[in-house]
Amino acid sequence: MPVVDAITPPGHRGRVRTHRVLIPLFDGVQPLDVVGPHEVLMGATALLAGRAGPGAPPAYEVELVAAEPGTVVAESGLHLTATAALPAGGAIGTLLAPGGPGARRAGAPLVDWIRQAAARADRVVSVCTGAFLLAAAGLLDGHPATTHWRFTARLAEAYPDVDVRPDPIFIRSGRIWTAAGVTAGMDLALALVEADHGAEVAQHIARELVMFVRRAGGQSQFASPVWSPPAPRPSVRAAQDLIHAEPTSDLRVPVLAARVGMSARHFSREFTRLVGTPPGDYVERVRVEAARGLLESAPVTVTAAATRSGFRSAETMRRAFLRRLGVAPDHYRRRFTPPAP
């Protein structure tokens, strides 16, 4: 029976062959990194099989493999079953590396297998801290990549040849795809389905799973505030304290410098050197976090939240939210404010 690869452009008239997806398991794997993409891909397989009719090959075949066949204990205690042992031979359509504590402490055998399997894979994907597996195997060198927001700094420090980007939900760089934390693996899997079979199929699966085919904004909107440590110089540390204590005050550089007894130029230079970001950027970050807290917990308008967090106007706050979180304040409030009792 003549076949055409499953990643030919949507609408091709030929029959498609099964696209093999290999997911290595290990103790301490994050189970949603495995189950989420699996459900998306198998949902697409069921949909396409129904349309193709009896006898058509499945669009995706997802295989869970491990050092030995059998049960693997996930990070949360959930038991997952590997049906085959590493190495799993043959061609691979997509190699998907999940994350979890086991990925961050993986030994040489798993990393070596990832490196060898990637050489015969059409596509190499990581979810969450699975990026550490790809980075350890040298597969992310020179590529933009992302991971869970909590671990982006650690990834960048451990692998300086990787262009780590903390905000995207997922990134594609050639045949390398990396996703942010946990549920972002489902976003990435939908993107894989869209690349393989078109937007309509991906949209159908997203509706079935009650999720957006493309969620708004990046993962920064989900991240907890990460403040720079207090500066070792007392005058710069005093400026940081002022910014946190009085976000609605006049916090322009000349004003801050005068309040801590420094010239504006020297203050700006020292603040940037010791804190790692310019004073104006630091002030905006603090004000965005103050506004986030108000929008999440207080029944205030966007304009009131802007005023109470130190922004000159609601429009200024909107631009800061879009720049830092990727979503507007009103969208942020709808997403993160609990419903009224």
Would you please indicate which residues are annotated as catalytic (active-site) residues?
128
- Prior bond to 87 cis, omega within 30? yes
Residues 6+ apart with CB under 8 A from 107: none
For 148-168, b where at least 16 C-beta lie within 10 A, e where not — what string? Answer: bbebbeebbeebeebbbbbbb
What is the end-to-end Cα distance of the chain in Å, rounded?
A: 61
CA distance 168 to 179: 8
Tokens of 297: 């917990």
Cβ atoms within 10 Å, residue 330 = 14
Q: Is the dihedral of CA 62, 66, 68, 72 positive or negative?
A: negative
Give 328's Cβ-side CA count (13 Å radius).
7
Tell me if 128 sits within 8 A of 181, measured CB to CB.
Answer: yes
User: If DSSP codes are grouped into helix, strand and coil, which group holds residue 178?
Assistant: strand
